Amino acid sequence: MGTLFKNGTIITASDMFRADLLVEGEIVTLIGRDLDPTGHTVVDCAGKYLMPGGIDVHTHLDLSFGGTYSNDDFNTGHKAAAFGGTTTHIDFVIQPPGGSLHDGLIEWRKKATLAQIDYGFHLAVRELNDAVLDEIPTLIDEGVTSLKLFMAYKNVFQVDDSTLFRTMRVAAKHGMIVMVHAENGDVEAALTPALLAEGKTEPKWHASSRPPEIEGEATNRAVVMAGMTGCALYVVHMTCEPAIAALRRGRALGYPVMGETCCQYFFLTVDEHLAAPGFEGAKYVCSPPIRSKHDQEVLWGAVKDGTLAVVSTDHCDFWYEGGVGPTAEWAAAHPNGDWHAFEAQDPTYRRPGKELGRGNFAKIPNGMPGLEDRMMVVWHAGVNGSRISPQRFVELHCTNPAKVFGMYPKKGTLAVGSDADIVVWDPNKEHTISAKTHHMHCDYNVYEGMTVRGVPVQVYQRGIRLVDGDQWLGKNGAGQFVRRSPGAPIL
């Protein structure tokens, strides 16, 4: 006995067609017209679309960053993701200072014991030595085939060019993909103190400390190194014209380079959001910064013409009003990590958040929520707004992420033999986004008040229903680690 999704319209990266879809066990076993319902549980999908579960390849759950930890973990973040139609994500494991890559994996595997949806790991290299270089190919045996290097966040995550270049050489040899956060961190580190010294301390100055030129320059540097090493490169969270131009140049030269943007960069601007009165702009502080309306059009152009392959979130949420509960003395006496234990004892406690940067934009934790909103907001502006087709939407949010990161066709499509990760999408249902109703563990939503048309009404992972309307049916520990393959295609 299986589950038969009847009378729906299936959307894949290439097609959109009326068909029934049968799930037996964890996989899709049959797609066809007028399938016999005898012996199956029937889900009536008349008037609905069936899409593959969304894949968000850029998340930071429970990340120690900016003097605190990001809020959502593998429990709350997974539930929020599924309510938004995302059933798989890849999180960034960070190599601990002085530690190995495997030390980082051990730490992240502990976080993932709470998993409610499927997940994978990228590995962020912070310190490269001979032992780490030797360790890189061994990650493939662990199902990890992507590395990440930060060209920004000096004295925190930033690596030098030699580290990036040598990592790319090893990755290329083993068919692994290198991802970069492309901003020139040295220039940022020179601009920030100069701005602060001029009394420019409000959130909006964050954008001036990280102008488009430093993103374009770093993107170009990474693209050139990819060309020299033959390493597959994926530039994360691209935001602006100079960066897109650098990517286009590399692609035109035949270099193995790809890029993603994140949903917030289509919607938020410095003028309207980062420069909001008072400290409100802190909600929108992320790196690279949100940009201008012009850059938004450049990004839409790049997803339309295939320059950008993926839309993800860079979900990394912090309280707007955090640090609620213990005294400053308590917080000072309890270094990072103890906060988790404290929160477990006292649910009213909030770890520090954006308020850390009142009076100094450089101390505002970088990042924002989005994991739950991604598919709804991009469908609304992209598909309803006639910018992209439903098929291209599926390609950007499901299929390409699976292909680029070695999970296809297990994930990312609806085909016979694929995991039955299925979103039943109601294209006519409206929803007004709000922090009052979202499932992310965050006291604000960057799309607050936006009414979208087109929402997930049921969400399935490997044939198990996780979401039914407002009802949550998932379970901790049910999410599985997705082992990924090297040698993914360049799209």
Residues that bind Zn ion (CB under 5 A): 181, 314
For residues 286 and 313, is the Cβ–Cβ distance under 8 A?
no
- Strand, helix or coil at 38? coil
Collect all residues with Cβ–Cβ distance below 8 Å to 322 and sequence separation of at least 6. Answer: 68, 350, 351, 352, 353, 354, 355, 356
CB-nearest residue to Zn ion: 181
Nearer of residues 289 and 353 to Zn ion, judged by Cβ = 289
* Interface of this chain with ligand URP, residues 282 to 311, rule: CB under 6 A: 286-287
For residues 45 and 5, is the Cβ–Cβ distance under 8 A?
yes
Q: Which amino acid is at 448?
A: E
Least Å from the CB of residue 288 to ligand URP: 7
Count of C-beta atoms within a 10 Å radius of residue 9: 18
76 binds ligand URP (CB under 6 A): no
For residues 96 and 460, is the Cβ–Cβ distance under 8 A?
no
The site partner of 184 among ligand URP, Zn ion, none (C-beta below 5 to 8 Å per kind) is none
Give me the half-sphere count of Cα atoms (radius 13 Å) on the Cβ side of residue 366.
15
Beta strands in 12-48 (DSSP E): 16-24, 27-32, 41-44
The site partner of 87 among Zn ion, ligand URP, none (C-beta below 5 to 8 Å per kind) is none
* Interface of this chain with ligand URP, residues 447 to 466, rule: CB under 6 A: none
314 binds ligand URP (CB under 6 A): yes
Structure tokens given for 222: 């990474």
Least Å from the CB of residue 195 to Zn ion: 20
Least Å from the CB of residue 185 to Zn ion: 11
The site partner of 45 among Zn ion, ligand URP, none (C-beta below 5 to 8 Å per kind) is none
Q: What is the DSSP string of 376-433?
A: HHHIIIIIITTSS-HHHHHIIIIIHHHHHTT-TTTSSS--TTSB--EEEEEEEEEEE-
Of the candidates 316, 381, 467, 488, which one interacts with ligand URP according to CB under 6 A? Answer: 316
443 binds ligand URP (CB under 6 A): no
Collect all residues with Cβ–Cβ distance below 8 Å to 307 and sequence separation of at least 6. Answer: 244, 247, 248, 251, 259, 301
- Tell me the per-residue interface mask from 49 to 68 with ligand URP, x by CB under 6 A, - otherwise: -----------x--------
The site partner of 187 among Zn ion, ligand URP, none (C-beta below 5 to 8 Å per kind) is none
The site partner of 286 among Zn ion, ligand URP, none (C-beta below 5 to 8 Å per kind) is ligand URP
Structure tokens given for 302: 């790049």
366 binds ligand URP (CB under 6 A): yes
CA distance 115 to 216: 36
Give, for 205, the enclosing helix (H) or strand (E): helix 205-209
* Interface of this chain with ligand URP, residues 163 to 192, rule: CB under 6 A: 181
Least Å from the CB of residue 339 to ligand URP: 18
Count of C-beta atoms within a 10 Å radius of residue 334: 13
279-to-275, 349, 356, 360 alpha-carbon distances in Å: 9, 22, 11, 11
Least Å from the CB of residue 164 to ligand URP: 15
Phi, psi of 80 (to 5 degrees): -60, -45
CA distance 318 to 430: 27
The site partner of 367 among Zn ion, ligand URP, none (C-beta below 5 to 8 Å per kind) is ligand URP
The site partner of 366 among ligand URP, Zn ion, none (C-beta below 5 to 8 Å per kind) is ligand URP
77 binds ligand URP (CB under 6 A): no
- Total residues contacting ligand URP by CB under 6 A comes to 8
* Interface of this chain with ligand URP, residues 141 to 160, rule: CB under 6 A: none
Q: Which amino acid is at 269?
A: T
Nearer of residues 60 and 380 to Zn ion, judged by Cβ = 60
Of the candidates 367, 382, 454, 456, which one interacts with ligand URP according to CB under 6 A? Answer: 367
94 binds ligand URP (CB under 6 A): no
Least Å from the CB of residue 58 to Zn ion: 5
206 binds ligand URP (CB under 6 A): no
Least Å from the CB of residue 205 to ligand URP: 15
- Interface with ligand URP by CB under 6 A: which residues? 60, 181, 286-287, 314, 316, 366-367
